[in-house]
Structure 1
Amino acid sequence: MNHRKLTAGEVAGTYHITAPVTEAELLGIAQAFARRKLARGRKLTQPALVFEYLQVLFQGYEHEVFSALFLDTQHRLIHFEDLFRGTIDSASVYPREVVKKALAYNSAAVILVHNHPGGDPEPSDADRRITQRLKEALGLVEIRVIDHIVVGSEGCVSFAERGYL
């Protein structure tokens, strides 16, 4: 991201663009801000804002990416990480690897996230099955799955809001 093309505005959280920027640069700027909002120590209490940040981060991917937000006991973010990369319509997800990462970060809870490059965030049967497998595997080591969010260009779907967890 080219910070030389931005200056802080008079109101906190606003910026002025001081030189022409490309679409790619704008997307990069937006993604950098979204990553900053999903930084270590942030308490994730507003799902709508988390959805916005995730949509910005996942837009432009032409393949599925499966990620996790690793949280402490107060639901503050410890780490956000892309775990698996797939094809245009699927990603192989290995519960053992997710459990290893969650334990390595000493997580108390996780929010699972993946995108649907086609745009429709409606969870598939496979999405529901892997969520159940991950919930069972993580539950064995007392790590809660508090949500699984599917991100599409048309919006986000929360398993927790849908009652799938």
Structure 2
Amino acid sequence: MLRTIKSVAELGQYLARKYGNQPQESCWLIAVNTQMRVLDIQQVAQGTLDGVSIHPRDIFRRLVALNAYGFILVHNHPSGHLKASLADRLFMRQLAYCSTMMQLHFFDFMIIGLDGFMSLRATGELPKISLESLYDLWTDANKL
């Protein structure tokens, strides 16, 4: 059982061993406290062979209930292909906006497979969104 997250590599290897062989796409939420201690690991969605549908409310409902400081979202690709799809990237961006608004730290979006993992934070692909940029979007929209 994973208790505290010490590194991306340790987490990725643990997740790939535990969930990498799933035959359907699924998403797991890892909620953490300020010390990166794991509060909960929960499957929040299960899909088909090549897709999974999930809504941000399914993630944030659980995080608020746990009084979590932040989270990592984990998604498997049964094909073993670890590259993020367009749908993965769009959902990751949506989560980045929502987590900024909720002031919950979105630490990583990881893709796992039988033979490994990909951390989108480690590759620099996790969006960095500030509250100021969200305020700018809001004020710009209201000028229309």
Q: State the AA in 2 paired with 1:61.
A: Q
Measured on the aligned residues, the alpha-carbon RMSD in Å equals 1.0
Structure number with bigger Rg: 1
Relative contact order higher in (CA < 8 Å, ≥ 6 apart): 2
| Percent pairwise identity | 29
C-alpha distance in 2, partners of 1:123/1:59? Answer: 15
| Counterpart residue number, 1:110 | 71
Q: Which residue among 4, 11, 16 is the counterpart of 1:55?
A: 16
Q: How big is the shift at 1:80? A: 0.6
Long gaps (5+) in structure 2: 127-144
Q: How big is the shift at 1:154? A: 3.2
Q: What is the number of residues matched between the two proteins?
A: 126
Q: Which residue among 64, 86, 99 is the counterpart of 1:138?
A: 99
C-alpha distance in 2, partners of 1:92/1:54? Answer: 20
For the 8 Å contact 2:72–2:108, the answer to whether it is kept is yes
Q: Report the TM-score when normalising by structure 2.
A: 0.83
Q: How big is the shift at 1:58? A: 1.2
Q: Which residue among 86, 108, 111 is the counterpart of 1:147?
A: 108
Q: State the AA in 1 paired with 2:66.
A: Y
Long gaps (5+) in structure 1: 1-35
SS of 2:11 mapped into structure 1: helix
**Aligned 1:31-110 pairs, distance under 5 A:** 36=1, 38=2, 42-110=3-71
Q: Report the TM-score when normalising by structure 1.
A: 0.73
SS of 1:96 mapped into structure 2: helix
